[in-house]
Structure 1
């Protein structure tokens, strides 16, 4: 494990740090219209970020066979609605790469039902619903299908 960090992660972080520093100077001097900074992704490659942080990839066999079509019925629906202000929803959370999508879904559903019934936000501890350890990451949640196992 330590060799992997020394031989792979440290040089990668240094390379990313150099790119970030150069980009910041370019931004300051007006050569770029965006600014970069160190963050929790600074030690990752672009491929690693895409793999772990860009969402679930649903296999074709699991997709619905038909596309969803808008209803032709006329409904009086407001153009926008912010359910956060109505105490129905919590803020968006980052589950990282531990495969805790089921815990996220269950806790969000329970929080929403509780808020609807009591008009009070409740924030549940997702960690109590699933143990994000190495076994879960490698064997159960690899394809976002914890329930199936």
Structure 2
């Protein structure tokens, strides 16, 4: 009996190994992966391990789903590069131009049940930071682009490379703070348009020589600050409705890299320390899912990432709202243009 059981186990193991081989070949072809033989062994091992994690999550988790993408065979070091947020101490600015009165008035207004800026012309297509810890620059520009377009009616794409190369307050591909990027842009006199200073750091992983040119300015900053008080979902919703997309910082667990759909949440991502963060993203909307027989209604944020349009849900993901999941409600900020 034991002999036949051993044979059955062996047959199942061989079948699983053959299936994994086929999935690995298909994955490499789909995402254009090519490795030397000695490197491929390590990559395939990571891929298969992540496949098991994806399968387990999708069997057991009714709230959000995982799937294969360009990160599925990434090493921990490669993923670490993508987490480029190094936020400085959060110090509110002195409120200027009667901002206190304006904000207090806004907080008294009723909020819509949902809002989604993804289809607004003022929101540029999702961009890709590549293998460079420049998420802070993309987060800063997304809000600035939107604010400029909302004021003028003309869409604009601003240069992330300008901040990566020129911003002395931040560390380029080694990380940064989107509010310090705004400080630099304000002091410099504005942010250049991307067509005059295109992004290249996604492939070089290095910072280039600064090529600032004030004749190609696309937006100028008049004021920026944190949303206050924090963390407070209602406050963030109010600013989102009235000022547009809100950059924020969050903690990224390994599970998020393979997100494909649903409302992301992870008990390990509810953390006590506000400064336990490593990635900059942009909140572009909010809403609530419809309840089902197995899952209750879930309030969520709509969040824009900078890992390309082929990641997640066309470059976006949903994350649970109202519980400060991954610290995402602790670091929301807003910007106003001249």
Instruction: Check if 1:52 corresponds to 2:81.
Output: yes
Deviation at 1:124, TM superposition (A): 5.9
Contact 1:13-1:43 within 8 A present in 2 as well: yes
Aligned residue for 2:152? 117
Give the aligned CA root-mean-square deviation in angstroms: 4.5
Deviation at 1:35, TM superposition (A): 5.7
More strand by share: 2
Query: 3-state SS of the aligned residue for 1:136?
Result: coil
- Of structures 1 and 2, the one with the larger relative CO (CA 8 A, separation 6+) is 2
Contact 2:123-2:145 within 8 A present in 1 as well: no
**Runs of at least 5 residues in structure 1 that lack an aligned partner in the other structure:** 141-149
CA distance in 2, matches of 1:9, 1:77: 58
CA distance in 2, matches of 1:137, 1:8: 31
Aligned residue for 2:104? 73
- Cα shift readout 1:68-112 (whole Å, capped 9, x = no counterpart): xxx793434442444445533335534233355576344762454
**1:56/1:16 Cα in 2 relative to 1: closer, same or farther (>3 Å)?**
same
CA distance in 2, matches of 1:135, 1:48: 11
Instruction: Check if 1:43 corresponds to 2:59.
Output: no
Aligned residue for 1:131? 200
User: Which of 17, 28, 33 is the equivalent residue of 2:47?
Assistant: 17
Contact 1:90-1:123 within 8 A present in 2 as well: yes
Query: 3-state SS of the aligned residue for 1:73?
Result: helix
Aligned residue for 2:122? 88
CA distance in 1, matches of 2:142, 2:65: 35
User: Which of 64, 78, 93 is the equivalent residue of 2:90?
Assistant: 64
Query: 3-state SS of the aligned residue for 1:12?
Result: helix
Contact 2:132-2:205 within 8 A present in 1 as well: no
- How many residue pairs end up in the alignment? 127
Contact 1:89-1:115 within 8 A present in 2 as well: no
CA distance in 1, matches of 2:142, 2:56: 44
**Runs of at least 5 residues in structure 2 that lack an aligned partner in the other structure:** 1-34, 93-99, 160-193, 211-338
CA distance in 2, matches of 1:79, 1:39: 36
